[in-house]
Amino acid sequence: MTTLQFADTHNLVAFLSKPTESEGFEQIIDFLNANPIKYSLMINPTIYTSCIEQFWATTKVKNVNGEVQLQALVDGKKIIVTEASVRRDLQLNDEERTDCLPNATIFEELTRMGYEKLSQKLTFYKAFFSPQWKFLIHTILQCLSAKTTAWNEFSSTMASAIICLATNQKFNFSKYIFESMVKNLDNAGKFLMYPRFVQVFLEKQLEGMKSDKRIYVTPSHTKKIFRNMRRVWKGLPGRDTPLFPTMMVQAQQEQGEGSEMPTDP
């Protein structure tokens, strides 16, 4: 049996600070700092490798009273993960929210975002957005999505997530994360998916995990992300499309003096 591995470009910790290198990205950083998904982007527990390995080695899908569950054994104790527990433990507050937008809405909203390579295909490319939009897309892809490769591409589901965030709608990240974990069980290239999140789930259910000297250090975005998002791809005009009015956040909100996002008039 193939040994399961971590994917070093998956489930990263976001970089939401504003060093001098972040000039031009202040609005999108403020937006993400004020958004309810910040907790899931930034949570960075100590990850005990053997616990994550035990979880993925023993996990089975069960249907209990109509509810789909992931059940595993870690340190000899039963662990249960459900969509509801994902929502609760990651503080996502997105029950009965959008799973995927209609294709026509996706095309329309991506056009508003300045997407420069629109076609009828449902695979989209981060490179064809201006820098702040690229930063948003890249952060969601590497920190919350189930992807491990091809960071320039994203699907209609991830396009829906980005659009919902930008237009102050709730995207059902909890369902997306849980269903991605379920699908990973039958994945031929199965890996140790969502280590940050799984560790949070374990800590909520285990009182005192066994000592484990093997600790997985979660990769994090660094301030180099700003330089990478500024790169202009050959042949692009470099048009800068502003963020939507719904995404403008006052400084005091970032400091905790309010949490409501602006709404369209």
Number of other CB atoms surrounding residue 163 within 10 Å: 21
At 35, is the secondary structure helix, strand, or coil?
Answer: coil
Q: 2-11, 106-115, 139-148, 166-175: which range is least confident on average?
A: 2-11
CA-closest candidate to residue 86, choices 111, 107, 68: 68
263 falls in which pLDDT band (50, 70, 90)?
Answer: very low
Does the pLDDT at position 265 exceed 90?
Answer: no
Answer whether residue 138 is part of any domain: yes
188 versus 200: the higher-pLDDT residue is 200
Residue-wise pLDDT tens digits, 117-146 = 777 788 999 999 999 999 999 999 999 999
> What domain range includes position 156?
20-238
Answer whether residue 171 is part of any domain: yes
Answer whether residue 8 is part of any domain: no
Name the residue type at position 254. E
pLDDT at 188: 86
Answer whether residue 260 is part of any domain: no
Chain mean pLDDT for the chain? 89
Answer whether residue 9 is part of any domain: no
Element (H, E) at 33: helix 26-34
Residue-wise pLDDT tens digits, 30-77 = 999 999 999 999 999 999 999 999 999 999 999 999 999 999 999 999
Most confident among 1-10, 83-92, 230-239 (mean pLDDT): 83-92
Answer whether residue 250 is part of any domain: no
Query: ∠159-162-166 over CA atoms, to 5°?
Result: 135
Answer whether residue 219 is part of any domain: yes
Answer whether residue 76 is part of any domain: yes
- Count the domains in the chain: 1
